[in-house]
Amino acid sequence: MGWHYRKSIRLGPFRLNLSRAGVGHSVGARGARYTRSARGHRYLTLRIPGTGLSWRRPLRRRTTRRTTRRR
């Protein structure tokens, strides 16, 4: 297993996350947080404070429907 580096800087509800991959950020309160990782992945995390239980869902990009032209 390789070496890992992670450092978080808190600025109120906003957090900067520093890692080898780059800089990410997250925003939210104690029980809910939206995160954008250094690689561009987006997540929604819901936690029950004090229990260690959490649920994390990756957020996908919205896809637009391609309209087909009739000739």
What does the pLDDT look like over 8-67, one tens digit per residue?
999 999 999 999 899 999 999 889 999 999 999 999 999 998 999 999 999 987 776 666
Q: How far is the C-alpha of 37 from the C-alpha of 23, rounded, in Å? A: 7
Closest CA to 39 of 27, 25, 56: 25
- At 27 the pLDDT is 97
Q: Is 66 within a domain?
A: no
- At 6 the pLDDT is 84
Q: Is 47 within a domain?
A: yes
pLDDT band of residue 3 (cuts 50, 70, 90) is confident
- At 15 the pLDDT is 95
* Claim: this prediction has a pTM higher than 0.95: no
Q: Is 22 within a domain?
A: yes
- At 34 the pLDDT is 96
- Give how many domains the chain has, as a whole number: 1
Q: Is 69 within a domain?
A: no
The whole domain housing 15 covers 6-58
